């Protein structure tokens, strides 16, 4: 197979995957490592993060850091301040990607972006996960109500102001109802803490 034919095949593989692929799935799809490196050097592919490539010339990545983490750590769920930012519930600008993993999971090895990892119990980890697609990559993100409950759970690390701003904004913008917040707050075992703030805001 000539160079042009190999390049066309690699482009097809990446297009079918939405434009972004990790090395292992690309190899399973029949892409030779030599072609990955050659096409990266030729500017056909961009190295987004170690082991994650995307077709050059695509529109800029939406939420590039989240896409990178989702591609490299598929089991992770975008959580806390990163999830607040994703849902438009905070004025904080995240300088790292906050993710949740089940207790007992090893810390992911990732050069970039910087990660803040929260290890959660099975009930907390699996509760209220939403699936969003960005640039062909499935992002697992906690829903707005669950994210707010988590912020109350980790208020000593984040600051109560972050949780309160998110609660107030979410209620004002109707991202969730008080009942939804209390439901997930019970799962996170913070309903007694959240309830007085909810009552004060209603």
d(CA 194, CA 202): 13
Q: Tell me, yes or no, if the pTM score tops 0.85.
A: no
> pLDDT tens digits, residue range 108-139?
887 677 788 999 999 889 889 999 987 778 88
> pLDDT tens digits, residue range 71-97?
888 899 999 999 999 999 988 777 788
52-55 and 77-78: which strand pairing? unpaired
What's the chain's average pLDDT? 86
Classify residue 18 by its DSSP letter. Answer: T
Classify residue 183 by its DSSP letter. Answer: H
Counting Cα atoms < 13 Å in the Cβ hemisphere of 140 gives 17
């Amino acid at each position: 197979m000539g160079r042009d034919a190999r390049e066309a095949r690699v482009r097809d593989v990446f297009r079918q995957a939405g434009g972004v692929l990790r090395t292992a799935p690309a190899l399973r799809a029949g892409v030779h490592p030599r072609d990955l490196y050659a096409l990266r050097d030729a500017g056909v592919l961009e190295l987004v993060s170690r082991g994650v490539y995307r077709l050059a010339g695509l529109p800029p990545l939406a939420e590039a850091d989240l896409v990178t983490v989702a591609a490299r750590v598929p089991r992770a769920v975008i959580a806390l301040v990163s999830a607040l930012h994703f849902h438009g519930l905070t004025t904080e600008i995240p300088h790292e990607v906050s993710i949740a993993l089940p207790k007992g999971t090893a810390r992911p090895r990732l050069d970039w972006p910087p990660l803040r990892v929260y290890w959660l119990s099975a009930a907390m980890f699996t509760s209220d996960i939403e699936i969003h697609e960005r640039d062909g990559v499935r992002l697992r993100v906690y829903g707005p109500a669950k994210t707010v409950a988590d912020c109350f759970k980790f208020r000593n690390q984040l600051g109560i102001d972050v949780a309160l701003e998110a609660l107030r904004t979410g209620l004002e913008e109707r991202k969730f109802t008080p009942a939804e917040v209390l439901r997930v707050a019970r799962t996170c075992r913070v309903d007694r803490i959240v309830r007085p703030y909810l009552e004060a805001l209603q």
